[in-house]
Amino acid sequence: MELLFEISKPGRSGVQIPASDVPAVNIGEAIGAKYLRGDLDLPEVAEIDLVRHYTNLSRRNFGVDLGFYPLGSCTMKYNPKINENIAALPGFTGLHPLAPEVFSQGNLELMYDMQKLLSSLFGMADFTLQPAAGAHGELTGVMMIKKYFEKLGHKRRQILIPDAAHGTNPASGALCGFETVTLRSSAEGGVDLAHLESLMTEEVAALMLTNPNTLGLFERNIEKVATIVHGRGGLLYGDGANANAYLGKTRPGDLGFDVIQLNLHKTFSTPHGGGGPGSGPVGVGKILVDFLPVPRVVKNGAAYSLSEDFPDTIGRVRAFYGNFSVIVKACAYIRSLGAQGLRRATEMAVLNANYIQERLKEHFDLPYDRICMHECVFSGSRRAAETGVHTTDVAKRLIDFGYHPPTIYFPLIVPEAIMIEPTETESKETLDAFCDAMIAIAKEAKDNPQRVKDAPLSTPVGRLDEVMAARKPDVCWKKTGNGR
Ligand SMILES: *Cc1c(COP(=O)(O)O)cnc(C)c1O
């Protein structure tokens, strides 16, 4: 596709600038010639060329609104458009973050309500809505854990992280100065209790646990895990990115978690991917409430305000009060579904994942053959050994069938992993069509492996050199002289 610079023709324009109603000023004289850089080399195109350019570009993209997007550990579900409409109401978008509290009572009330709603949904004492993403929530949670032990005067320098964990978990621990120690998974895909017993010393501040974990498996021994960690004075941190697997079924607070981050952009209706805005609220049990970041939204009588008056706080973790529009969307989603709707969403997410697991397990090796939660994880190592077709090839071939590839090569403990999260919003027809495509590719890997290895065959660009793309990204357009 040609770039705007390449279709540019001198003198074309897509804008009409109204006649000036102020006297003309020579900018060079007014601010000093040294600030002028010479002519800006901007493309000159008509409006219709501009519209076509961006529309064509957008049609080369893939999104949830276009097709099935089974990325695992990511919850790429369809998000009802009404939540976007509500977040776009002028009362939400038009308020300046520095407006006095008397003018922001409605928005403060919404934030206060969300703190309460999330607290009751997750069984925590209170929530902060400040963190801007899941990883940022983890960092906030670990900072609170650190401050908690500082206050107690305990020197604990380790954090335990299961080998199935998302990479952001060890990163958050390390950023706070902890040594991260890897905890093994058991043969059935959960925490290895004996290993936990041996690692859980008075040096350990916390265990960061994802439940259900990134294998999509619920931790059956969660109560034992909590008892071991708490028994040695440690805290249990919950990575709540997979909360769509248990809404209305169980609550992390009841399972023994002391602190948990959510990913509103995964579980609670914000379209994400490509680095869009996220939100990672953090919930805490009673023992950590004093350490929550400030400002906190508080209620005095009928009035809402932002309070900094918490002496043990870890301080501020973000400018202003979080990604407010994401919080509004989550609020709209929770309120429109209600308790029963959330429970049903969870049931459908789990049912859909198990449906795919059952349909595909004849054709794709299932390393942990148990009922899964919101996602299922297959291994492609036998296929790779027998046919030379690797998981990445299967993923690329799926593009030719019109699907976004699932998550691959994660979690790290499953060789050649293929991780599929269908989410609650997909119909049986969609799931069946996807499974048919996966089964067709599995057969093709035997009959015509080269075809799978050459995929994608139907896209404007084929197989890219992913290593070079990461090591030597070439993202600058260089003027070649054609065009203008
Ligand atoms: C997505 C995810 C994270 C990180 O969340 P971000 O919002 O991308 O920072 C952490 N843990 C798990 C299990 C996740 O799936």
For the full predicted model, state whether its pTM sits above 0.85: yes
User: Residue 409 Cα, ligand 1 centroid: separation in angstroms?
Assistant: 16
Q: Are residues 77 and 52 in the same domain?
A: no
Instruction: Choose between 97 and 127: higher pLDDT.
Output: 127
The residue with tokens 């890219």 is 464
Can you tell me which residue has the tokens 């079924």?
249
Tell me the residue range of the domain where 291 lies.
72-459
Is 483 inside a domain boundary? no
Instruction: Give the separation between CA 128 and CA 284, rounded to whole angstroms.
Output: 9
Query: How many angstroms separate the CA atoms of 185 and 163, rounded?
Result: 6
Structurally, the chain folds into a number of domains equal to: 2
In this predicted model, what pLDDT tens digit does every residue of 355-403 receive, in sequence order?
999 999 999 999 999 999 999 999 999 999 999 999 999 999 999 999 9
Quick one: 223 and 368 in the same domain? yes
**Listed range (33-42, 261-270, 320-329) with the worst mean pLDDT:** 33-42
Q: Are residues 255 and 368 in the same domain?
A: yes
At 33, the pLDDT band (50, 70, 90 cuts) reads confident
Per-residue confidence band for 483, with pLDDT thresholds at 50, 70 and 90: very low
Mean pLDDT computed over 79-92: 96
pLDDT at 481: 57
Q: What is the spatial distance between Cα 111 and Cα 303, in angstroms, rounded to a whole number?
A: 13
With cut-offs at 50, 70 and 90, classify the pLDDT of residue 102: very high
CA dist., res. 174 & res. 168, Å (int):
10
CA–CA dist 24, 1 (Å, integer)? 40
- Residue 470 maps to a domain: no
Predicted local confidence at residue 39, as pLDDT: 75
Locate the ligand 1 atom nearest the alpha carbon of residue 137 and give its number. Answer: 9
Q: Is residue 481 part of a domain?
A: no
Query: Does residue 278's CB lie within 6 angstroms of at least one atom of ligand 1?
Result: yes
C-beta of 135 in contact with ligand 1 (< 6 A): yes
What is the β-pairing status of strands 296-300 and 303-307? antiparallel
The type of residue at 138 is E
Pairwise CA distance, residues 138 & 133, whole Å? 9
- Report if residue 32 sits inside a domain: yes
Say if residue 340 is in the same domain as residue 289.
yes
Give the model confidence (pLDDT) of 281-327 as tens digits: 999 999 999 999 999 999 999 999 999 999 999 999 999 989 999 99
At 484, is the pLDDT very low, low, confident or very high (cuts 50, 70, 90)?
very low
Q: How many CB atoms lie within 10 A of CB 96?
A: 9
Same domain membership, residue 45 and residue 104: no
Same-domain pairing of 361 and 441: yes
Ligand 1, atom 15, lies closest to the CA of 73
Looking at residue 200, its pLDDT comes to 98
**Residue at 477 is within a domain:** no
| Per-residue pLDDT at 185 exceeds 50 | yes
Ligand 1 pocket check for 172: Cβ under 6 Å: no
- Whole-angstrom distance, CA of residue 343 vs CA of residue 334: 11
Separation of alpha carbons 434 and 332, rounded Å? 31
> Is 339 found in the same domain as 454?
yes
CB 267 within 8 A of CB 75: yes
| For residues 131-158, average pLDDT | 97
- Look up the CATH number of the domain holding residue 448: 3.40.640.10
Do 428 and 312 belong together in one domain?
A: yes
The whole-angstrom separation of Cα 211 and Cα 327 is 23
How confident is the prediction for the chain on average, in pLDDT? 95
**DSSP summary character for residue 156:** -
Whether 51 and 103 share a structural domain: no
Q: Is the CB of 325 under 6 A from ligand 1?
A: no
Between β-strands 407-408 and 417-420, what pairing exists: parallel, antiparallel or unpaired?
Answer: antiparallel
> What spacing in Å lies between the alpha carbon of 216 and ligand 1's midpoint?
14
In this structure, is residue 255 part of a structural domain?
yes
Quick: pLDDT tens for 388-445: 999 999 999 999 999 999 999 999 999 999 999 999 999 999 999 999 999 999 999 9
Banded model confidence at residue 482, pLDDT cuts 50, 70, 90: low
Q: What is the 3-state secondary structure (H, E, C) of 376-445?
A: EEEECHHHHHHHCCCHHHHHHHHHHCCCCCCEECCCCCCCCEEEECCCCCCCHHHHHHHHHHHHHHHHHH
SS3 16: coil
* Residues 34 and 77 both lie in one domain: no
Which residues does residue 138 pair with via DSSP β-bridges, in sequence order?
none
The reported pLDDT for the residue numbered 99 is: 94
Are 8 and 91 in a shared domain?
A: no
Is there a single domain that holds both residue 364 and residue 339?
A: yes
Rg of the chain in Å (alpha carbons): 26
* Closest residue by Cα to residue 328 from 51, 21, 83: 83
In a domain, 465, yes or no: no
Alpha carbon of 135 to ligand 1 centroid (Å) = 6
- CA–CA separation, 124 and 188 (whole Å): 29
223-243 average pLDDT score: 97
480 occurs within a structural domain:
no
Q: Whose alpha carbon is nearest atom 7 of ligand 1?
A: 134
297 neighbors 306 (Cβ within 8 angstroms): yes
In this prediction, residue 480 has a pLDDT band, given cuts at 50, 70 and 90, of: low
